[in-house]
């Protein structure tokens, strides 16, 4: 299938869309293609996810089961059988790109995925990578593997990089309304990629190459990491001067130009902001460049959990208590408010640090009823239901993630001691400590 045939299949919606990796990125994208009228096949190595979807169940809190059931009625299928990759015209890769323990890019998910697909590729397919990665990944890792099958990219195979942009828990933006950046290996790749995404997303932003698209995503996330690092550093200075940094940020944010508010917290969480800057740092070394800004922000942000723990220690100490033996309730263990995503959550690091110091740890999170099995972190805990009696029974309540579903007035009234790492409690009180 050459370019014109592909474009006409996108236009008449006869193109079959394959989504590889059915997580926080892949699932919303699948729903959007199905909603518009495309036949979608979802591929995932996790048979549990495949079974759940085929039974009309969702495993992501903000995606209702009714949406999955609607997609099934529209012809959506999920499978763990990559042999079926040949059935799709477009294969969109939405797999994780974590760091290894040396803070270096771990492309194993991307590489294993493309290696699993390559034997089943056929002429005329488009492959799109959405996973955040360093500039050059699409050219250096995907292109040679696709061409190893004898295809010429730009003629009888097409390759683009189009980074995901998701903001879970943000009701103002959907997959459809978030503009989508897309860069192709050749102009023909670009044209097909833009047409494909343009069929389901309101605004597609073409850039001149896959490297430019890869760098765009990194700039977006590094921008956040550096600015959060800045306000985290200023928070420490403001605290020493007995100034409320949240009051200062709210005041600064009234300036109608030249200032964007960023908010400090107990550390960075999620799959993107703590991880992605290191992708650029690592690749920059190849070019003899030291990315000092990025690394400094990373240092400041990764030091935040220790700073919060020191605040807990000092607050308990002023009440003649040690962390050792104190009952500490951590509020919110998802990485950001109003979601159920635990990846890289600073709350988990706080829980571990406090546990290591001898605290008896409990948590409450309406979005995470049971502490999940994680590769690095182990807690056998379930979410505590908050009542005035329960809250009053803890030596310290640590607000780590400020979900809207917490009853802050009740917490303020009944907690013995609150450590507020999110600036949620505006009025000063003797038993509330800002962290």
Kindly state whether residues 307 and 297 are assigned to the same domain: no
- Both tokens of 254, joined, read 């009234």
Kindly state whether residues 233 and 260 are assigned to the same domain: yes
At which of 165, 190, 208 does a domain end?
Answer: 208
Kindly state whether residues 10 and 52 are assigned to the same domain: yes
Query: Which residues form the domain of 245?
Result: 210-302
At which of 181, 208, 235 does a domain end?
Answer: 208
Kindly state whether residues 309 and 288 are assigned to the same domain: no
E strand residue ranges, 223-335:
327-331
Name the residue among 380, 334, 338, 339 with its Cα closest to residue 361: 380
Quick check: is 272 catalytic? yes
Evaluated on CA atoms 231, 241, 333, 177, the torsion sign reads negative
Kindly state whether residues 311 and 250 are assigned to the same domain: no
Name the residue among 124, 27, 19 with its Cα closest to residue 82: 19
Residues of the chain with pLDDT under 50: none
- Which pTM was predicted? 0.92
At which of 208, 233, 258 does a domain end?
Answer: 208
What's residue 428's pLDDT? 86
Kindly state whether residues 321 and 391 are assigned to the same domain: yes
What's residue 344's pLDDT? 84
What's residue 101's pLDDT? 82
Per DSSP, the residues of 72-136 read: HHTT-EEES-GGGGGG-SEEEE-----B-TTS-B--HHHHHHHHHHGGG--TT-EEEE-S---TT
Inter-CA distances, 163 with 56, 129, 160, Å: 28, 7, 10
Catalytic option among 94, 182, 189, 272: 272
What's residue 397's pLDDT? 98
The HSE-up count of residue 13 (CA atoms within 13 Å, CB side) is: 11
Kindly state whether residues 195 and 245 are assigned to the same domain: no
Kindly state whether residues 55 and 189 are assigned to the same domain: yes
Kindly state whether residues 294 and 310 are assigned to the same domain: no
Residue 206 bridge partners (DSSP): 182
Kindly state whether residues 267 and 309 are assigned to the same domain: no
CATH number (domain holding residue 224): 3.40.50.720
Kindly state whether residues 204 and 330 are assigned to the same domain: no
What's residue 270's pLDDT? 64
Kindly state whether residues 260 and 284 are assigned to the same domain: yes
What's residue 271's pLDDT? 65
Instruction: Say whether 40 sits in a helix, a strand or coil.
Output: strand
| Number of domains into which the chain is organized | 3
């Amino acid at each position: 299938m050459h370019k014109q045939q592909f474009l006409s299949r996108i236009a008449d919606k006869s193109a079959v869309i394959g989504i590889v990796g059915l997580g926080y990125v892949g699932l919303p994208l699948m729903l959007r293609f199905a909603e518009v009228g495309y036949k979608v096949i979802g591929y995932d190595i996790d048979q549990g996810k495949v079974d759940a979807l085929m039974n009309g169940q969702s495993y992501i809190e903000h995606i209702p089961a009714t949406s999955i059931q609607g997609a099934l009625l529209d012809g959506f299928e999920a499978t763990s059988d990559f042999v079926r990759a040949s059935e799709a015209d477009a294969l969109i890769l939405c797999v994780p790109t974590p760091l290894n323990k040396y803070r270096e890019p771990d492309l194993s998910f991307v590489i294993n995925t493309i290696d699993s697909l390559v034997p089943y590729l056929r002429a005329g397919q488009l492959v799109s990578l959405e996973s955040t990665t360093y500039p050059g990944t699409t050219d250096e890792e995907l292109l040679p593997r696709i061409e190893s099958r004898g295809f010429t990219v730009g003629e009888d195979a097409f390759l683009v990089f189009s980074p995901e942009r998701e903001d879970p828990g943000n009701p103002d933006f959907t997959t459809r309304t978030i503009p989508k950046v897309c860069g192709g290996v050749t102009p023909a790749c670009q044209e097909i990629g833009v047409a494909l995404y343009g069929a389901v997303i309101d605004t597609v932003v073409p850039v001149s190459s896959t490297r430019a698209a890869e760098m765009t995503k990194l700039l977006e996330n590094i921008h956040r990491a550096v600015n959060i690092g800045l306000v985290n550093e200023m928070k420490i200075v403001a605290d020493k001067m007995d100034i409320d940094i949240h009051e200062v940020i709210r005041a600064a944010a009234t300036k109608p130009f030249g200032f964007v508010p960023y908010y400090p917290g107990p550390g960075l969480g999620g799959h993107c902001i703590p991880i992605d800057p290191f992708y650029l740092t690592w690749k920059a070394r190849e070019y003899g460049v030291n990315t000092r800004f990025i690394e400094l922000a990373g240092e400041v942000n990764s030091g935040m959990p220790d700073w919060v723990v020191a605040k807990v220690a000092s607050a308990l100490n002023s009440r003649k208590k040690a962390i050792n033996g104190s009952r500490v309730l951590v509020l919110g263990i998802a990485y950001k408010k109003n979601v159920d995503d635990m990846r890289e959550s600073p709350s988990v690091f706080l829980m571990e640090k406090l546990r290591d110091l001898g605290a008896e740890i409990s948590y409450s999170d309406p979005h995470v009823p049971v502490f999940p099995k994680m590769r690095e972190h182990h807690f056998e805990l379930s979410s505590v239901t908050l009542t005035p009696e329960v809250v009053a029974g803890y030596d310290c309540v640590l607000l780590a993630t400020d979900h809207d579903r917490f009853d802050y007035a009740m917490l303020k009234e009944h907690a013995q001691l609150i450590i507020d790492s999110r600036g949620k409690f505006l009025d000063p009180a003797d038993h509330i400590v800002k962290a």
